């Protein structure tokens, strides 16, 4: 059994205030025995219109968010998955919505750039979301080996694209993380059903850390961070507000489900690009 944790926040535009909010929640998760801790999407900068400036700081020697993540991971001896931060691949380029993974020594061991950007209209008070104005698209499927198993990385809107999760499964994922900022409207409609579907399809644990409440500027996020087992059962969940969810993943339970219903072996149709992506990650 491995203890994992999802941190739910109500982040705002002030980076330092968000980091100050995250630190005691990370400490709480570590004290509860979590070996891997997941932060939500945009945990350090939610609704901040100076994303390019934040990205340039992270790419430069200052790196306030990246250093925070590394320091927290080494301080608590945990693997820490940093939700998403704006981070370019090269100086002057448009930032990616980037998920960084740090090991228990504070070393960066993986980077995932969000593949699917949220360019949609929603029936809420914000109405229009256009992530592609601020971010560039990622192009890689990423898994990383951790003490709690092989972890597949995804971010928020990725959840609607089953082919990505299939690729993560084929690349050996046992746990897939979903740091998110699902809106209250789309979350109420689809959050749990999508998470459960991805768990059932991939026969993986799904750990989802969502933003959860009313943010400065009036935006509302859904919360309901959760851990779902490979059979699609909601093993633990929150409602709204700042909170820490701790629960355990059981490799024996995962292996039993995969043995009794070997869907990966039975699968007859897999898109060619999904096979190629999974093969690339397995090399």
Domain containing 213 — which CATH number?
3.60.110.10
Is 156 catalytic? The answer is yes
pLDDT of residue 238: 97
Nearest to 99 by CA among 146, 131, 142: 142
pLDDT of residue 52: 82
Give residue for tokens 């990205």.
55
Nearest to 224 by CA among 254, 251, 186: 186
Q: Is the distance from CB of 12 to CB of 261 less than 8 angstroms?
A: no
- Taking each continuous run of H as one helix and of E as one strand, the counts in the chain are 9, 15
The model's pLDDT over 107-165, given as tens digits with 9 standing for 90+, comes to: 999 999 999 998 787 766 666 778 888 899 999 999 999 999 999 999 999 999 999 99
For residue 214 the two structure tokens come to: 């009313």
> Helix, strand, or coil here: 169?
helix
| Residue 91 banded pLDDT, cuts 50, 70, 90 | confident
Question: Among 114, 143, 174, 240, which one carries the catalytic annotation?
Answer: 114
* Segments in the chain forming alpha helices (H): 15-31, 51-59, 64-76, 162-170, 184-186, 192-202, 251-260, 263-266, 272-282
Question: Among 98, 99, 143, 156, which one carries the catalytic annotation?
Answer: 156
- Which whole number is the average pLDDT over 73-85? 97
| Residue 263 banded pLDDT, cuts 50, 70, 90 | very high
Show the domain range for 212.
2-282
Count: domains in the chain: 1
| Residue 218 banded pLDDT, cuts 50, 70, 90 | confident
- Name the percent of the chain in helix, strand, coil, to the closest 5: 35, 25, 35
Is 226 catalytic? The answer is no
Q: What is the pTM of this model?
A: 0.93
pLDDT of residue 282: 44
Other C-beta atoms lying within 10 Å of the C-beta of residue 189: 14
| pLDDT, averaged across the chain | 91
Is 94 catalytic? The answer is no
């Amino acid at each position: 059994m491995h203890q994992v944790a999802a941190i739910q926040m109500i982040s705002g535009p002030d980076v330092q205030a968000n980091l100050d909010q995250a630190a005691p929640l990370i400490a709480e998760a570590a004290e509860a025995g979590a070996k891997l801790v997941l932060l939500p999407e945009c945990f350090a900068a939610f609704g901040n219109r100076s994303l390019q400036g934040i990205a340039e700081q992270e790419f430069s020697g200052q790196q306030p968010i990246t250093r925070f993540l590394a320091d927290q991971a080494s301080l608590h001896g945990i693997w820490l998955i940093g939700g998403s931060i704006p981070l370019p691949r090269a100086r002057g380029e448009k930032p990616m919505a980037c998920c960084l993974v740090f090991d228990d020594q504070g070393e960066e061991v993986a980077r995932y750039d969000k593949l699917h950007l949220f360019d949609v209209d929603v029936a809420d008070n914000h109405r229009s979301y256009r992530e592609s104005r601020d971010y560039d698209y990622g192009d890689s499927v990423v898994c990383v080996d951790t003490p709690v198993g092989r972890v597949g990385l995804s971010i928020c809107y990725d959840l609607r694209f089953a082919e990505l999760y299939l690729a993560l499964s084929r690349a050996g994922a046992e746990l897939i993380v979903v740091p998110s900022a699902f809106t209250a409207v789309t979350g109420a409609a689809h959050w749990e059903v999508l998470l459960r579907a991805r768990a059932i399809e991939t026969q993986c644990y799904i750990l989802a850390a969502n933003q959860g409440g009313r943010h400065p500027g009036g935006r509302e996020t859904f919360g309901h961070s959760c851990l779902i087992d490979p059979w699609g059962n909601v093993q633990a969940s929150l409602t709204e507000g700042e909170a820490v969810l701790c629960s355990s993943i059981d490799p024996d339970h995962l292996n039993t489900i995969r043995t009794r219903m070997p869907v990966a072996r039975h699968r007859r149709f897999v898109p060619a690009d999904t096979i190629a992506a999974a093969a690339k990650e397995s090399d």
